[in-house]
Amino acid sequence: MNRSHSESLFERAQQHIPGGVNSPVRAFKSVGGTPVFIKRAKGAYLFDEDSNRYIDYINSWGPMILGHAYEPVVDAIRERAADSTAFGAPTELEIEMAELIKSMVPNVDLIRMVSSGTEACMSAIRLARGYTGRNKFIKFEGCYHGHADSFLVKAGSGMATLNIQSVPGVSVAVAQDTLTAAYNDLDAVKKLIRQHPNEIAAIIVEPVAGNMGCILPATGYLEGLRQLCDQHGIVLIFDEVMTGFRLAKGGVQELYNIKADLVTYGKIIGGGLPVGAFGGRKEIMQHIAPLGSVYQAGTLSGNPIAMIAGYTLLKELKNNPKIYSNLEATTKQLANGIGKELTKSGIGHTINRLGSMMSVHFGSHPVIDFETAKRCDIPLFNRFFHHLLKNGVYLPPSAYESWFISSSIGDAEVEATIEAVSKFS
């Protein structure tokens, strides 16, 4: 497979962009080699600058749940853009978007639109601190909540991919307010609460983690976090930037029937455009300016082009619930087929899956947290990645990322992927 144009573009990019990319994992530093430069995409497929075609299992890291260039979204963007791309003033569409989100997800009384998942999580933590009058919060090793200073302590995903253990530019004072525990370890959370009585404002968690691979919560884990937060006056924040509207129309809150105090969104909520949001109980959300004194603002928050893209996509997901069951069936078919071929080859592996998220780990042990994910054979994953890439299958370029399946992926794409895996040894 010729990728000479991508190689020349990467050389050119490195002269003008740090590392040649605008987001670190795209640089292929973990898997090695030259990143693929994409020209266009349609449905289940990406097409690069050398006219190679790939089955896409990244789907823009989640938002392309109905496939690339989904026509109703593209048409809505085109029509709305004719009225101008931004106003910096309120629009009726923002109200309709808020009403639609509230009709789909549980336990959200008020919601504020922002421009990214990072901004949503950063704002949720600030709000929790303002609401409780406390400064510290608990996050989990391997969970990634964006690149705000306080989140980059043991953040997994891109940090792990680049082998960055501590981050220059993050002050000691900021890091000291970030308490960390292993994912799926309730006892570790209880210990931190005992060590810091009445100091913890929030617990923020990816309820189904996607930044150390797809890691499911252990039985009783999320329920235990909810109970601890209730007992100690701590705000429970579900980071559903990845899982929101993907695993179910109401996200993990619906799937596991557990209500968070605040929830953050991104990815699907923007239909592929840069959008995030945070919302939750009125008692907490009313502390955000202009209702309260916890300040948060954004010039492009509620941007009309982003709103119409997200609104169009969310409305389709709400009106067609079979999308989720079909996605789960496709993902199960893919995971089972890959597992069967790896077993035939005698390759030890664990495949984690929930709904339309999955990850392949090259180790025979259960992968339940960041430590068990790190014990897998990362060099073997890197070979697996490049083997599939040469065979027209595009995976996340890191062993620490979840795969995202779109409804455009059908039997033909699944069978082609399994066939490619069958040739790997």
Return the active site residues: 144, 239, 267
141: which 2 tokens? 């090793």
Query: Cα-Cα-Cα-Cα dihedral of 68, 72, 74, 75, to 10°?
Result: 160
**Contact of 6 with 37, CB cutoff 8 Å:** yes
Which residue has 């980059």 as its token pair?
152
Q: Which residue type does 31 have?
A: V
Sheet with strand 110-114: strands edge to edge:
110-114, 276-280, 262-265, 235-239, 200-205, 136-141, 178-182
Q: What are phi and psi of 240, to 5 degrees?
A: -105, 30
Nearest of 219, 221, 216, 267 to residue 240 by alpha carbon: 267
Q: Are the C-beta atoms of 217 and 249 separated by less than 8 Å?
A: no
Interatomic CA distance for residues 288 and 263, integer angstroms: 15
Q: Sign of torsion, CA 200 205 211 212?
A: positive
- Burial category of 66 from C-beta neighbours within 10 Å (exposed 0-12, middle 13-18, buried 19 and up): buried
Cβ proximity of 121 and 271 under 8 Å: no
Which residues, listed in sequence order, are joined to residue 141 by a DSSP beta bridge?
Answer: 182
Enumerate residues 6+ apart whose C-beta is below 8 A from 372. Answer: 363, 365, 366
Taking a C-beta distance cutoff of 8 angstroms, is the pair 285, 127 a contact? Answer: yes
Distances (CA, A) of 363 to 359, 379, 388, 399, 402: 12, 12, 19, 12, 16
Residue 201: name the closest of 253, 140, 127 by CA.
127
Angle of helix 378-390 versus helix 411-422 axis, rounded to 10: 120
